[in-house]
Chain A
């Protein structure tokens, strides 16, 4: 639970994306692509889930990537190598189903880019042909681009302001690619509007699409139901049944609303603790 390393992947306009290397040998030994951990930074902190982006069995290290958005991620962002997390447990969730699907498109938006990285690695290892579409606000937030580019057959990046790659949306690029060629699987992680749009687009091309959801969680072990989502009309718990689900079966509207349940409290605590 000790922090071994820290790197600032992006830092612009008061927004930072940070990567932490944490000593967690048992988790490093077990974790598979698509799984996450739950952690509490300090004694009075919240339990938050974070995807394991990288792991190394030999050194017992796992890497977590997060954007400083609320109080908990800011506290985590202020921690330094040598500091010890108050709690860390995992690996949680179902691993990504990895197999040789053929031609796979991976779409990563914002900090979601970090989450597609382990899946990209595993898919590549399984012999898939990878097309990667990365999207960010501007070039500063285009994290892990060189690492991902190195394992992709086709690589596209899009920014809101055109400061790197093309100006535009990842989902428009997805639409363009699917219109031109045949793909066997789409895997998308990013903000809800992006994943929802990806689901809408891929439905028209009837291509199998998987997304990893970021539902709110408390225990993250299946005991509270905070992360429940409606998938194909049935209730699933993101923490134990997910976090990945078929994109076209998800009730996006419900997920978006449930994820905003504590926005006023988050604003309040950030203001109080002077981190807004």
Chain B
């Protein structure tokens, strides 16, 4: 008998939009077991190659079927340091689940039949967290003598720090902001990744002996040369891609046109949704438009709708995207959540110009209609603007979620660090070493905007090349 996929329970919509509580509640033990038994334990599993860090998915699911959750936890931890985080934010439907033999979809993302690997990973990760399971420390004498500086405390930096700390290296993480986590802190909202999960992982690293120094801007407060002089023998740069792109259209600097980074940072890092208890403000409008179709756009849209609801306004948030629903790069689950919560979509629309009032606040967005032509270099069908197709949308607040570029603070201060035309750091793909000896890099600062698990994959590679060559 064919077994139906087990859906994870979720918070009711009305409760979701009245705050920032986590939406997906995760599996119970019974649900996790039922889902794990759907896995047919392929002789030659394809899912593992779909995972950027090659988690032994077949093995950990088998361990779940045997109720050996601790075993499953350690299986995942062998290649993934943060299962509770990845189980929540990985675009599994494009990665491991897309590679699952049960997938029947002809699209870039999997069909519901594919095993819910991410929900199982989250269940196992949360089990490990609840039971304080700790991955074994494998100190080796060589690494113990190494003093390593990590610049940036996002996914790449945290992963790298954990890898080396477990080998016994002295690791110091430098973070420019007042709290650690990078994009996991300022970018991803609590309703997708609760702060407790992130705090747990950071505290765990601190217990391993990793030292965190916040409010330090490497490149400004201290240079790479000075870090070497302070006795660090290796430096890892997990700087991230945090510079927001804009479209360069007229009216983009009107008041209440935000970058997604600014809008989300005000809320996630500075708690502007709790203004005036917290002192950082964020504006909200009656007719909010979000430009873009990625996860950041979904996060911004859903945060904006929550703020409207919390401030007693009728929810009206619309996502403007130049292709169609099929091409939206966001996680499918988040698109569904956005729809359930009342986010509207305007597909095949290209922003042309903002119009404001006399006080300089945005009031309208003029768009052009587009249609899809043949696929471009990204493999997605290219949007082409239709002539004389202008239309106007009410807009008193807009969030631009149209991509991010490499952080420049350290790069500009370090001319000997070689970068490519996108201003990303150039590394040796085998060792992840940059043009400066002893300086390694990984994550979005190398690959451009990618996923958290991809960043971790690069960080692990860089860590491995140090551990092997110390």
Q: Which of A89-97, A103-111, A152-160, A206-214 contacts B (4 or more CB under 8 A)?
A: A89-97
For A218, A251, A254, the residue with the greatest tally of chain B CB atoms inside 10 Å of its CB is A218
Residues in chain B near residue A30, CB distance under 8 A: 220-221
- Check A262–B283 contact: CB distance below 8 A: yes
Other-chain residue from A92, A262, A265, A269 in contact with B217 (beta carbon distance below 8 A): A92
B278 within 8 A of A: yes
- Check B279–A72 contact: CB distance below 8 A: yes
- Check A218–B221 contact: CB distance below 8 A: no
B246 within 8 A of A: yes
Number of interface residues of B (CB under 8 A): 45
CA distance in complex: A159, B1 (Å): 89
- Check B216–A89 contact: CB distance below 8 A: yes
B261 within 8 A of A: yes
- Check A92–B244 contact: CB distance below 8 A: no
B256 within 8 A of A: yes
B203 within 8 A of A: no
Other-chain residue from A46, A225, A260 in contact with B262 (beta carbon distance below 8 A): A225
Other-chain residue from B220, B242, B256 in contact with A261 (beta carbon distance below 8 A): B256
A223 and B407 contact, Cβ closer than 8 Å, known pairs A87-B214, A218-B266: yes
CA distance in complex: A160, B94 (Å): 66
- Check B280–A89 contact: CB distance below 8 A: no
A240 within 8 A of B: yes
Closest residue of chain B to A265 (Cβ to Cβ) is: B281
A225 and B259 contact, Cβ closer than 8 Å, known pairs A71-B279, A269-B275: yes
- Check A45–B279 contact: CB distance below 8 A: yes
Number of interface residues of A (CB under 8 A): 46
Other-chain residue from A1, A90, A223 in contact with B244 (beta carbon distance below 8 A): A223
- Check A44–B271 contact: CB distance below 8 A: yes
A254 and B283 contact, Cβ closer than 8 Å, known pairs A222-B407, A223-B407, A225-B244: no
- Check A222–B409 contact: CB distance below 8 A: yes
CA distance in complex: A260, B360 (Å): 10
Query: Would you list 24 pairs from A and B whose C-beta atoms are within 8 A, ordered by A residue?
Result: A40-B178, A45-B279, A47-B280, A88-B215, A89-B176, A89-B216, A90-B220, A91-B220, A219-B176, A221-B176, A222-B409, A223-B243, A223-B244, A224-B244, A224-B261, A226-B262, A229-B253, A235-B252, A258-B255, A258-B360, A261-B255, A262-B283, A269-B276, A272-B276
Apart from A88-B215, A260-B255, A266-B281, list 14 A-B contacts with CB within 8 A.
Answer: A44-B277, A45-B280, A89-B176, A90-B217, A218-B262, A218-B280, A219-B269, A221-B407, A222-B242, A223-B186, A223-B242, A225-B262, A258-B253, A265-B281
